[in-house]
Amino acid sequence: MSTVRETAALLPDPARLRTHLRALAALDGAIGDDPQFCQYTFHADWSPGVEAALMDNGSGDDFAVLFTPAGVLIRGFDHESQMSPYATDDEQVWPGVIDEVPTALRPLLDEPAFHDEGLDAPRVTACLWQANGDTAWRTGSVIAFPTGSEDPDGSGFLFHLLTDRSPETVQAWFEDYYERPVPLDAVRHVLAGHPLTPAVAKALNPAAHLPDSAAAQ
């Protein structure tokens, strides 16, 4: 079974996670032909003092990694999970998922972006955090995960590119999503934190840098 507890053990420290998420957003933006279809984005000014790395697969599943002066909060939502507020009898967050979120980070879950109309609870099935001064990722310690699923809270697929950060895994994901080859060297370059130069951007998406007449040939 894969849950937030396994995810917590595989995530890097907040600084490296931020670098990786910025790289995923840069890759998605460079490889894609239309920004509205990018799943990974990074917003340096999401709200005062808060940076947000977001993933939205367009099918009802999403996550947000929020970097704040008080620490980092990770909120994930798998719309098919039995742990979704939509699947519970009282339409509330699954017991234990957010109960232990530190006071300094708890207000982040009240952001309107994480609430749906008609649902009196944040849209969350998986939650992790690391407060300033902490050295490990934390999760709810008393969550009773439902049986019958290998990924009950959705963390296995939601955070796949955060727990397996290898260039080969990232390359394979983008090739599958965009259904075309993506050069591994260019992926390595961006994941290493290097600037997205014109040459690397062209390698990631040659068509985006061709004149319309040439691209149509």
Task: Supply the pLDDT for residue 101.
Answer: 98
> If pLDDT is split at 50, 70 and 90, which confidence band does 214 have?
very low
Q: Give residue 59's domain range.
A: 4-159
> If pLDDT is split at 50, 70 and 90, which confidence band does 185 have?
very high
If one counts the domains in the chain, the total is 1
Q: Is 172 part of a structural domain of the chain?
A: no
3 state SS for 91-128: CCCCCCCCCCCCCCCHHHHHCHHHCCCCCCCCCCCEEE
Cα radius of gyration rounded to whole Å, the chain: 18
Q: Is 113 part of a structural domain of the chain?
A: yes
Among 207, 177, 174, 208, smallest CA distance to 191 is for: 174
User: In the numeric block, which tokens belong to residue 100?
Assistant: 């232990």
Q: Is 204 part of a structural domain of the chain?
A: no
pLDDT in tens, 46-102: 999 999 999 999 999 999 999 999 999 999 999 999 999 999 999 999 999 999 999
DSSP helix/strand/coil, 45: strand
